[in-house]
Amino acid sequence: MANLNGFNANEVDPNVGFEPIPAGKYLAVITESEMKPTKAGTGSYLQLTFQVVDGECKGRLLWARLNLDNTSAMAVKIARGELSAICRAIGVMIPKDSVELHNLPLVIKVACRKREDSGEITNEIKGYEGKQRAEPAASAATVGSAPPWKR
């Protein structure tokens, strides 16, 4: 049991389910990272939480799981390649801790796919780029203004 301290649902708007965001490229930052054990208990993965920081989907969260410790050598190879792409996109080439990847802007390429278990459409991160690839050339009016993730 948990004490809900007089919570009144009449005073709070309910959350509504989120639909997947449209496929495309989004400016984002990593806000959280955590090593978690695999379901089978035979390895671990790095779970990264990305937050979109600009545009119509600002504030939305997406996740990536990197199987850095796994019995499958191919899964580890894929995960290490994905981590390398993230590091290159944010300019942190030799991180000692995943927290060094936090709050640095990068562009994530998001795709939509159908889940095999439920048939629902879900988002999946399919690539990473440096933020400069998504930003248009600065005009005289925008030079010196704060980037979108700092406004």
Report whether 53 contacts 71 (CB < 8 A). no
> For tokens 């990847």, what's the residue?
101
Q: Which CATH number fits domain 19-133: 2.40.50, 3.30.450, 3.30.70, 3.40.50?
A: 2.40.50
Reported pTM:
0.78
Q: Where are the domains of the chain?
A: 19-133
Give the Cβ contact number of residue 119 at 10 Å.
7
Rounded Cα–Cα distance for residues 145 and 151 (Å): 9
Nearest to 106 by CA among 123, 122, 125: 125
User: What is the SS3 assignment for 99?
Assistant: helix
Bigger pLDDT: 145 vs 113: 113
* Per-residue pLDDT reduced to its tens digit, 67-108: 999 999 999 999 999 999 999 999 999 999 999 999 999 999
Q: What is the mean pLDDT of the chain?
A: 88
Residue type for position 84? S
Determine if residue 104 is left, alpha or beta; phi over 0 gives left, psi from -120 to 50 gives alpha, anything else beta. beta
Average pLDDT over residues 21-47: 96
